[in-house]
Amino acid sequence: MRKAFNKELLSIAKRDPRVFMILADIGYGEIEEFAETFPDRFINCGVAEQNMTGVACGVAMEGNIAVTYSIANFPTLRCLEQIRNDVCYHDANVKIVIIGGGMAYGELGISHHSTEDIAIMRALPNMVVLAPCDKAETVALTDAMMAYNGPVYFRCGYKGEPDLHNGPIEAKIGGSAQLRDGKAATVFLAGTVGVNAKKAVEELAAEGIDCRLVSLYSIKPIDKAAIVRAAKETKAIVTLEEHNICGGVGSAVAEVLMDEGVGDVPFKRLAMPDVNATKVGCQAWMREQYGLGVNDVKNAVKSLLK
């Protein structure tokens, strides 16, 4: 997914001279072509994410589009004060892109996890929060993000993630993508952990339980209409996210259900428990360890339908 993002960003930069890429000494193997093509629009601030964010805000305030880019939680938690006070307060046209959301860097431990980022970023005024689930959504949402005037948080995957869509799609800020229809229950996914939701829904269908599958790629603003339809047209709702259970996608869906007066639908959030992820291993294994596996989704749907 990171390769798809960088390719699309380079394509946009070739058409729009306002696009700048600003890094904290990371991303090698993917960003060289941008740096070589636009050396005057490529800034490496060194291992100094706070400075990176301040520089990006200054670049944006001069009428440009500034893209900060780094792995996991480093361009968010390490420079949260600068994002809040510089970027969001000034409504600056800065795009904060992380590579490897959730536990993509599972072997490197909690310092490289981004499992509180959605809750924190969506709490910031003026901030848009996007989480594509595959390459098709990555490309479409990169286009939408770069066309939007204002702060955006873009939670990109790492590499080798399977496709959930069959081909290119159109996506918009505030939208969602229905991957499968069904009347038994709705499974809402966000991000690359959606591969487990898709497998679960396919296995449930083989058992005669047809579920609706929806990618909530825009977490803030969120597609309220899709959530309300799910509550009215299906018998239960399950959310799946690779994030702490506090304040993430499941919380956002629950807020909509209550605010829109459809909160009586059976509902279950599948997310990481509110603990530090002390286990170490590959992303797929980590998901199983923390309740985000295929069987976890299937069991949640079946328990709600009972």
Mean pLDDT score of the chain, rounded to an integer? 96
φ, ψ dihedrals at 61, nearest 5°: -65, -15
Contact 128, 220 (CB under 8 A): yes
Percentage of residues in the chain with pLDDT exceeding 70? 100
Least Cα distance to 125 among 85, 159, 164 occurs for: 85
**Tokens standing for 76?**
């968010």
| Pairing, β 128-130 against β 218-220 | antiparallel
Domains 2-156 and 177-305 share a fold: yes
Q: Which CATH class is domain 177-305?
A: alpha beta
Helix axes 249-259, 224-233, angle to 10 degrees: 70
pLDDT digits (tens, 9 = 90+) for 155-207: 999 988 999 999 999 999 999 999 999 999 999 999 999 999 999 999 999 99
12/10 Cα distance (integer angstroms): 5
Contacts of 83 (CB under 8 A, 6+ apart): 53, 76, 96, 124, 127, 151
Q: Where are the domains of the chain?
A: 2-156, 177-305
* pLDDT of res. 28: 78
Distances in Å between the Cα of 82 and the Cα atoms of 56, 60, 64, 98, 144 are 10, 14, 18, 16, 24
Q: Please give the distance of CA 193 from its chain centroid, rounded to a whole number.
A: 10
- For the entire predicted model, the pTM comes to 0.97
* pLDDT of res. 27: 73
Least Cα distance to 193 among 226, 219, 215 occurs for: 215
Superfamily of domain 2-156: Thiamin diphosphate (ThDP)-binding fold, Pyr/PP domains (3.40.50.970)
* pLDDT of res. 26: 85
Q: Please give the distance of CA 130 from its chain centroid, rounded to a whole number.
A: 5
In the chain, which residues have pLDDT < 70?
A: none
Q: Please give the distance of CA 256 from its chain centroid, rounded to a whole number.
A: 19
